[in-house]
Amino acid sequence: MSTSPPKKPTSTNRSVWRLAWPNILSNLLFTTVGLLHIKIVAQLGATSVAAVTTGHRVFFLIQAILMGVSVASTAMVARSWGAQQVKQAEIVTWTSLVISVALAAVLSIPILMAPEAIAGIFGLDEETTALAASFIFWLGLFNIFSAISMMLSTALRATGNVITPLWFLLFSSIFNITFAYLLAFGIGPLPKLGVTGVSLGGSFGASIITMVFFFAWWRGHFNLKPTKRKSIDWAISKQMIKIGLPPVAEQGIVQLAFLAFFAIVAQYGTAAYASYGIGITLVAFPIVIGFGFGIATATLVGQQMGAGEPDLAILAVARSLRMALASMILLSIVLATFAEELASFMINDPEVIELTIIFMYLIALAQPLMACEFTLGGALRGAGDTRFPLIATFCGIIFGRLIPALTFMWLEFSVYWIFSVMVLDYAIKAILLFYRYRSRKWLDIQMDLAAEPIRH
């Protein structure tokens, strides 16, 4: 594709949907991979499900930290693209890629050195901890490939090119599940590795596609070309760190809180722990719709701010929010209606099925609140206002989730009370983000995108 200046962005319902639906499909694919990982090992019992659930949480923690770089990249690439500064967007892309790879390498060190210690944080039994440690190790070994895929996809989406990342993710998902299944059950000449096979096979399969993705970009086949500089741009790096640190802290808080919440749920036994893992995998389908609209909103807001059109940015947020609410509520109703059938499909354990059904009913109540969080949070981050979402997340996680959950556990309430605190968490975040959005202070965020001159 050419690097000619992009067209001036618009802010219609069609523009929102054009950016949202590929992101929604991408997130659905990502979620489906996690669901099928659990479905594969469900045949091996609740212990294996708990181990994979634990491994996924550690993986999501790493991804969440990298997401801070992704948020900064989205805001900066989108604003450069909206201002028709293509070369600037390409420099931001290269800088974010180098930073994310370095960060992924550092994050992989403790995972590769002490997977047993990391898995032991969850307080599971010895067998489950050993399986989870093996799962975590192989995810860490391929962590750099995940970082490359995330950054390239983020940069392309920020320019409005949402189809290319979708195609690569589709093939990555197919390869991931195929190799995970083959190594889990030892199909043909391959060894039967169980939980370890899901992690090793899935990571290996996805990494093959990531390498194809990288070399296609490196050879200049996309609208964003590689700058092929020998060093990163320090001016861009400083701006990226300024914007990206709050999302890194936010996601770190979220994932660490989730780990703590998992540990609380684990105190109620393996069945409760497995049901929570299955439940969050199933309800992830309406949740990823919110993610899709959040990414679309961030992209449109960033482009409109770069083009000097704040009124169109506000219009884009309003339209995204309406569409996200309608979509998430509809799908959550469907999932709640078929909760028993879906839980039974995932595992053949009456106690786990019953707990999963209750979990899905409770989380369905939070869907409108989550739609507000994703869309309004995406708007603020797209404008470069990443500090306030951090504050909202901290308040929701600490005062809405962890403190009430710990209180209920100490009072020896049932696990249903533990599940219910998630609604309070999302309510606090939605209210705070709506307050910030209505203040319009996010429209005043400025970015310094002046890059250093390119030296050949």
Q: How far apart are CA 270 and CA 46, in angstroms?
A: 7
Query: Which CA distances in Å does 450 have to 92, 100, 235, 238?
Result: 10, 21, 7, 11
Kindly state whether residue 378 falls inside one of the protein's structural domains.
yes
Kindly state whether residue 454 falls inside one of the protein's structural domains.
no
In this structure, the number of other CB atoms found within 10 A of the CB of residue 342 comes to: 23
Q: How far apart are CA 375 and CA 247, in angstroms?
A: 15
Query: Which CA distances in Å does 414 have to 52, 53, 268, 425?
Result: 25, 21, 8, 19
DSSP, residue by residue, 16-44: HHHHHHHHHHHHHHHHHHHHHHHHHHHTT
Burial class (CB in 10 A: 0-12, 13-18, 19+), 21: middle
In this structure, the number of other CB atoms found within 10 A of the CB of residue 117 comes to: 11
Tokens read off for 353: 């099925």
pLDDT at 2: 41
Q: How far apart are CA 146 and CA 149, in angstroms?
A: 5
pLDDT at 392: 95
Which residue is listed with tokens 């964003």? 224
Q: How far apart are CA 159 and CA 183, in angstroms?
A: 38
pLDDT at 299: 87
Kindly state whether residue 202 falls inside one of the protein's structural domains.
yes
* Long-range interactions of 418-421: CB distance < 8 A, separation 24+: 418/264, 418/265, 418/268, 419/276, 419/358, 419/359, 419/362, 419/363, 420/362
Reduce the secondary structure of 245-312 to three states and give it as a string. HHHHHHHHHHHHHHHHHHHHHHCCCHHHHHHHHHHHHHCHHHHHHHHHHHHHHHHHHHHHHHCCCHHH
pLDDT at 12: 59
Kindly state whether residue 452 falls inside one of the protein's structural domains.
no
Kindly state whether residue 258 falls inside one of the protein's structural domains.
yes
In sequence order, what are the residues at sequence separation of 6 or more whose Cβ sits closer than 8 angstroms to the Cβ of residue 238? Answer: none
Kindly state whether residue 7 falls inside one of the protein's structural domains.
no
pLDDT at 210: 94
pLDDT at 455: 44
Q: Closest Cα partner for 427 from 339, 380, 362?
A: 362
Rg for the chain, CA atoms, rounded:
21
Kindly state whether residue 455 falls inside one of the protein's structural domains.
no
pLDDT at 379: 92
pLDDT at 292: 84
pLDDT at 121: 77
Q: How many structural domains compose the chain?
A: 1
Tokens read off for 419: 């599940």
Kindly state whether residue 125 falls inside one of the protein's structural domains.
yes
Q: Closest Cα partner for 66 from 138, 150, 162, 137?
A: 150
Q: Which domain holds residue 234?
A: 13-443
| pLDDT (tens place) for every residue of the chain, 456 residues total | 444 445 555 555 677 777 788 878 887 888 788 888 888 888 888 788 888 888 887 887 788 778 878 888 888 888 888 888 888 889 889 989 998 999 999 988 988 998 888 888 777 778 888 888 988 898 888 989 999 999 999 999 988 888 999 999 999 999 999 999 999 888 888 888 888 889 999 999 999 999 999 999 999 898 888 887 766 777 888 888 888 888 888 877 887 787 788 889 888 888 888 888 788 877 777 788 888 888 889 888 988 888 888 888 899 899 899 999 998 888 888 888 888 888 888 778 888 889 989 988 888 888 899 999 999 999 999 888 989 999 999 999 999 999 999 999 999 898 899 999 989 999 999 999 999 999 989 888 876 555 444 443
pLDDT at 456: 38
Q: How far apart are CA 50 and CA 39, in angstroms?
A: 12
